[in-house]
Amino acid sequence: MPQPDDTRMLTLRDYGRIIWLRKWIVVVVVVLCTAGAYLVTDSKPRVYEATARLMYEQPLAIGSVVSGIAATDPNSVAIEMQSAVAVVGGPQVAGRAQAILGSPASVPHYTVTATVPAPTVTTASNVSSTALSITVGSPAPRASAAIANAYAQALIVLRKDTEVAQLRQAETALRSQMRTFVTPK
């Protein structure tokens, strides 16, 4: 008595025939998955991004003003850039940016991130990037641009105020030292 051949291998043609017989199931699954993906994507709020890019200069070293020698250490530039990234997310810049933007009711919910883009060309004199990108995501495209620009402007004003204060302190120290050299007559 002959035994049925249970060791027969399925071929590609057999798989194609099985799929063809159940084609409606395949079509329904593809349509449901596509519709589900569309609905999930469409239900998420749209977020528009705007980026303000600043060229970042290392702060003026008070010693270089007096000596006339200015040296730029690539490692200190990289540290300074990371410090600037942290400052952008801080309360000083956020408060100044909010003041530039005006009333909180007119500003939609937004997110702010600051990054240092990788340098495109690396040479001995350009080990780290001196650009700072401030990216804002918001449901309103024009608000995203305005907020990114406000954060950039706030960072510029904060750095300017900080450097002016440091220069005034240096000036006060120099005047004090000069008074010790000048003797009253």
pLDDT of residue 19 exceeding 70: yes
Q: For residue range 74-102, list pLDDT tens digits in order.
A: 677 778 888 888 888 888 998 899 888 88
Of 105, 92, 101, whose CA–CA distance to 136 is shortest? 101
Measure the CA–CA gap between 47 and 153, rounded to whole angstroms.
23
Instruction: Establish how many alpha carbons lie within 13 A of residue 49's alpha carbon, considering only the half-sphere containing its beta carbon.
Output: 8
Q: For residue range 111-160, list pLDDT tens digits in order.
A: 888 888 876 655 555 545 678 899 999 988 888 899 999 999 999 999 89
Most confident of 31-40, 79-88, 164-173: 31-40
Classify burial at 149, counting beta carbons within 10 Å of its beta carbon; exposed 0-12, middle 13-18, buried 19 or more. Answer: middle
